[in-house]
């Protein structure tokens, strides 16, 4: 049985491959999408990957996931550090929600050390490059199987 899952990406993640490759790696956004879909298939997940620079759109997607009990992997990008609206939308989850980050926020600027989303997520995976998404999808599948 294939289960639906969303991978939601916040601001600037559509610029992967060209945005600060020393921090975010050389994989393009298209490469990230393909990685997530491939790993999803291996795990029995029908993964839909989305990206937005708009906070309101991200919140609507989290509402959509909560209303349909769809599990989520979310990289809130900069929204991680200050968006209480995004945090409140994530808190309404009705299925596992894994926060993911390509870089390790705790090894970067101090403002990145705070996540307002982490406290309402099932868990957080960070610091493993694009591999963070592979790990997060595996964690999501394990949460669904538990």
Instruction: Output the DSSP codes for 61-80.
Output: HHHHHHHHT--EEEE-GGGG
Residue 94 main-chain phi, psi, to 5 deg = -120, 10
Burial class of residue 100 in the structure, from the number of CB atoms within 10 Å of its CB (0-12 exposed, 13-18 middle, 19+ buried): buried
Taking the model in full, what pTM does it have? 0.91
pLDDT in the model for residue 1: 64
Asked if residue 127 has pLDDT above 70, the reply is yes
Cβ–Cβ under 8 Å, residues 36 and 28? no
Give the residue ranges of the annotated binding site.
75, 81, 88, 102-103, 112
pLDDT in the model for residue 103: 82
pLDDT in the model for residue 114: 81
Cβ-Cβ contacts under 8 Å for 49 (sequence gap 6 or more): 6, 7, 9, 32, 33, 36, 37
Give residue-wise pLDDT tens across range 19-70.
Answer: 766 766 667 899 999 999 999 999 999 999 999 999 999 999 999 999 999 9
Residues with active-site annotation: 24, 101
Asked if residue 121 has pLDDT above 70, the reply is yes
Cβ–Cβ under 8 Å, residues 3 and 45? yes
Cβ–Cβ under 8 Å, residues 74 and 62? yes
Q: Print the domain residue range for 22.
A: 3-145
Give the residue ranges of the annotated binding site for substrate.
75, 81, 88, 102-103, 112
Nearest to 99 by CA among 37, 44, 143: 143
Residue 43 forms beta bridges with which residues?
none
Q: How many domains does the chain have?
A: 1
Give residue-wise pLDDT tens across range 66-85.
Answer: 999 999 999 998 889 889 99
């Amino acid at each position: 049985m294939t289960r639906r899952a969303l991978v939601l990406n916040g601001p600037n993640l559509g610029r992967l491959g060209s945005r600060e490759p020393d921090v975010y790696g050389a994989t393009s956004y298209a490469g990230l999408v393909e990685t997530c879909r491939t790993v999803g298939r291996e795990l029995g997940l029908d993964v839909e990957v989305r990206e937005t620079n708009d906070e309101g759109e991200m919140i609507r997607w989290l509402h959509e996931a909560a209303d349909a009990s769809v599990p989520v992997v979310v990289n809130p990008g900069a929204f991680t550090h200050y968006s209480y609206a995004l945090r409140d939308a994530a808190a309404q989850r009705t299925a596992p929600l894994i926060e993911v980050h390509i870089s390790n926020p705790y090894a970067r600027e101090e403002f990145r050390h705070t996540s307002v989303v982490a406290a309402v997520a099932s868990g957080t995976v960070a610091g493993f490059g694009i591999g963070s998404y592979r790990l997060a999808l595996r964690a999501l599948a394990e949460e669904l199987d538990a």
